[in-house]
Chain A
Amino acid sequence: MTGSLASRERATAAVPPPPARRPAGRWLADHLVLLLGILVLVYMFVPIGYIFALSFNQPSGRGATAEFESFTWSNWGSVCEPEGLCESLKLSFAVSLTATVLATLLGTLMAFALVRHSFRGRSASNLLIFLPMATPEVVMGSSLLAMFVSLGFDGVLGFVTIVIAHVMFCLSFVVVTVKARLVGMDARLEQAAMDLYANEWQTFRLVTLPLAMPGIVAAALLSFTLSFDDFIVTNFTAGQSVTFPLYVYGAKLKDFPPQLFVVGSAMFLVSFAVVIAAELWRRRRSTWSR
């Protein structure tokens, strides 16, 4: 009896003491990265939040102000109301789509040439491809304008000259993006296709192109964004034409219709949807793509 009592006492004594209170500093240290992350996200998204908010603003005066005055849906229904806004959007889409198609086509071919073939001047080409990316846009724009004028284009500055300029600076990005994809591709896959009775064209169509496609799509998206967004080079080469960025800049100098915020919000929503869709697609295919 006494023995078991003693052991019970010992058992009680063995219960661990209540844990010491964790210092507040420890909690902070554990969550510091999370807090910083949230702060960075806030920093990135607050300006975009402003665009959304102001797209529902009903300014009392003629132009938009930074003050949120009263809520309205009407801006979203009257995007084309401000004079020239929708025309500038149309021009921008036309320019960007044309430039994207041309730059992606040319750039992809250049990337294939640079990765797959050795020729005199290949390393020089590899280097020169990077130069437009490193050149300040102001310099590029002014020299393009000088070139167009001296070639006698000054009367017809507009869609064609803008596209020529945009294709030029998009090319470098396309080449670099597609090249990265091609370099990572196993050359034995194409050899295997040839070994399995696919001729050169079939090998390209059935193996090379599908495998390079993610790079080509990424390059096209990048081109479109760069082209659609461009102000500086466009400003030099547009003549009397007005693209959307030029329109926004012009509006800033006069008045600032709230419809601009509608276009901004819509563009953000579209790109957001594209990013989400791309991510879902990637996850579905991540089981095989490297």
Chain B
Amino acid sequence: MAENEADAGKDLRLERLTKRFGDFVAVDDLTLTVPRGSFFALLGPSGCGKTTTLRMVAGLEDPSAGRVLIGDQDITHLRPYKRPVNTVFQSYALFPHLSIFENVAFGLRRRGVKDYQQKTRDMLELVQLGPYGDRKPAQLSGGQQQRVALGRALINEPGVLLLDEPLGALDLKLRRQMQIELKRIQTEIDVTFVHVTHDQEEAMTMADTIAVMNHGVIEQMGAPADLYENPVTTFVANFLGQSNLIKTNVIGTSGGEIVLDCHGQKLAVAAARSHADGRSAWLGVRPEKIYASVAGVEDRTDADVLTGGRVTDVSFIGVSTQYLVAMPWGQELMVFEQNTGSRPSFRNGDEVDLMWAPDHAFLLDADQDAHAGMMRPEDRE
């Protein structure tokens, strides 16, 4: 479709988009630009508004306020079938009464595309389902159904492809495989993908840009590595991977570093990595950034050092060993160490010092909840 090809060259823009269900604000004044051709992930826990946002772009939900634009075209109130946007639905929503071929051909036939048969066969080849055209969806495996859903949407050459937890119904191994596959197809056909997921690993594996959503607003947006290495809120620090958040007091600055007091021990963090402005702050360090050494043996002046730790738990994971280290003020910090085999692992009760590079830490506002974004074990997949 000619207008679709033209739309492929345009950005998706959301302007002050809001959706209220009664008193509940699902999406709150969201403004966002998804550059064309990018793989964009909306990441957040269930109920954060990410799926509602997606549905407003698809036209399946009517915004309470704000606008949705593709390029300069305002599509906020267009019916779903008038939008140059296609969706891969959660659990696929394949038409059970139609064959795989008819499922994939559905969009083309509705628009009266003449050579839909050849195009459908080509698309079935692209998603590696050539021989399955005559089958019904229920006769295919989960992974195959997923590829039908993808093909059914992609065949329309949409300006923007929306993916609503597309891999949620697959088992772990198949999911990894499909992540790579999706990324490959996206690079190949150069379509803007907007991907909604609660799986931080999935988002980081595939997306160029991640927007972390919570309570209807975007907490932070950026490249996966930036979000992970330099989170600006406790929610992001905890939702993407794991973080140690240590209560500290700001006592001054020196040479581009902020000097902190942590229960009597002096620490520093790069000023560029500070997202706090109060007198007290959370100092965040990722567990794998911390190096544990036998107490009193190493003294590094170029590193942040916390002394007085005692190992209280040792978990051997295989690629790494994960320690819990109790600090003098009662907090237990996580320390992950690669199993390189270059030194023996610690045991319960060992006295250790913890150290890390100041530009691996980050500083967050103390009035945020240190537990925000932590997933309960039952939420982890």
Chain A residues near B (Cβ < 8 Å):
186, 188-189, 191-199, 202, 206-207, 210-211, 287-290
| A196 partner, pick from B60, B86, B139, beta carbons under 8 A | B86
Q: Which of A188, A287, A288 has the most CB of B within 10 A?
A: A288
A130 and B153 CA atoms in complex are apart in Å by 42
Q: A195-B85, A288-B138, A290-B96 are in contact. List 7 more A-B contacts (CB 8 A).
A: A188-B93, A192-B93, A192-B95, A195-B80, A195-B89, A196-B152, A288-B137
Q: Which residues of B contact A211 (CB under 8 A)?
A: 96-97
A222 and B273 CA atoms in complex are apart in Å by 72
Which residue on B lies nearest to A188, using beta carbons?
Answer: B93
Interface of A is mostly: helix
With A189-B95, A211-B96, A290-B96 as contacts: A198 and B137 at CB distance below 8 Å: no
| A191 partner, pick from B80, B94, B139, B153, beta carbons under 8 A | B80
Among the stretches B106-114, B240-248, B280-288, the one at the interface with A is B106-114
With A287-B138, A288-B137 as contacts: A191 and B81 at CB distance below 8 Å: no
Q: Are A196 and B137 in contact (CB under 8 A)?
A: no
Q: Give chain B interface residues in 68-117, CB to chain A under 8 Å.
A: 79-81, 85-87, 89-91, 93-97, 106-107, 110-111
Q: Are B107 and A197 in contact (CB under 8 A)?
A: yes
A199 and B138 CA atoms in complex are apart in Å by 26
Write 6 A-B pairs (CB below 8 A) sorted by A numbering: A189-B95, A192-B89, A196-B156, A197-B107, A206-B106, A207-B95
Q: Which residues of A contact B110 (CB under 8 A)?
A: 196-198, 202
A26 and B152 CA atoms in complex are apart in Å by 59
B136 within 8 A of A: yes
A211 and B89 CA atoms in complex are apart in Å by 19
Q: Which residues of A contact B354 (CB under 8 A)?
A: none
Q: Which of B60, B80, B87 has the most CB of A within 10 A?
A: B80
A151 and B257 CA atoms in complex are apart in Å by 95
Q: Are A199 and B81 in contact (CB under 8 A)?
A: yes
B221 within 8 A of A: no
Q: Give chain B interface residues in 323-377, CB to chain A under 8 Å.
A: none
Q: Which of B89, B137, B153 has the most CB of A within 10 A?
A: B89
Chain B residues near A (Cβ < 8 Å):
58-60, 79-81, 85-87, 89-91, 93-97, 106-107, 110-111, 136-139, 152-153, 156
A281 and B94 CA atoms in complex are apart in Å by 22
Which residue on B lies nearest to A202, using beta carbons?
Answer: B110
Which residue on A lies nearest to B80, using beta carbons?
Answer: A194
Q: Are B111 and A191 in contact (CB under 8 A)?
A: no
What 6 A-B pairs come out closest when comparing CB atoms? A196-B107, A197-B110, A288-B136, A188-B93, A192-B93, A194-B80
A59 and B138 CA atoms in complex are apart in Å by 58
A141 and B153 CA atoms in complex are apart in Å by 56
Tell me the smallest distance from the CB of A207 to a CB of chain B, in Å: 6
With A186-B93, A189-B95 as contacts: A196 and B106 at CB distance below 8 Å: yes
A211 and B137 CA atoms in complex are apart in Å by 14
With A287-B136, A287-B138, A290-B96 as contacts: A194 and B79 at CB distance below 8 Å: yes
Which residue on B lies nearest to A189, using beta carbons?
Answer: B93
| A287 partner, pick from B81, B94, B139, beta carbons under 8 A | B139
Q: Are A193 and B95 in contact (CB under 8 A)?
A: yes
Q: Are B79 and A193 in contact (CB under 8 A)?
A: no
Q: Which residues of B contact A287 (CB under 8 A)?
A: 136, 138-139
Q: Are B138 and A195 in contact (CB under 8 A)?
A: no
Q: Which of B90, B97, B138, B139 has the most CB of A within 10 A?
A: B97
Q: Which residues of B contact A206 (CB under 8 A)?
A: 106
Tell me the smallest distance from the CB of B160 to a CB of chain A, in Å: 12
Which residue on A lies nearest to B107, using beta carbons?
Answer: A196
Q: Which of A186, A196, A202, A206 has the most CB of B within 10 A?
A: A196
Q: Are A195 and B60 in contact (CB under 8 A)?
A: yes
Q: Which residues of A contact B96 (CB under 8 A)?
A: 189, 211, 288-290
Which residue on B lies nearest to A191, using beta carbons?
Answer: B60
With A202-B110, A287-B136, A288-B137 as contacts: A194 and B97 at CB distance below 8 Å: no
Which residue on B lies nearest to A211, using beta carbons?
Answer: B97
A287 and B93 CA atoms in complex are apart in Å by 17
A191 and B152 CA atoms in complex are apart in Å by 14
| B111 partner, pick from A186, A193, A197, A289, beta carbons under 8 A | A197
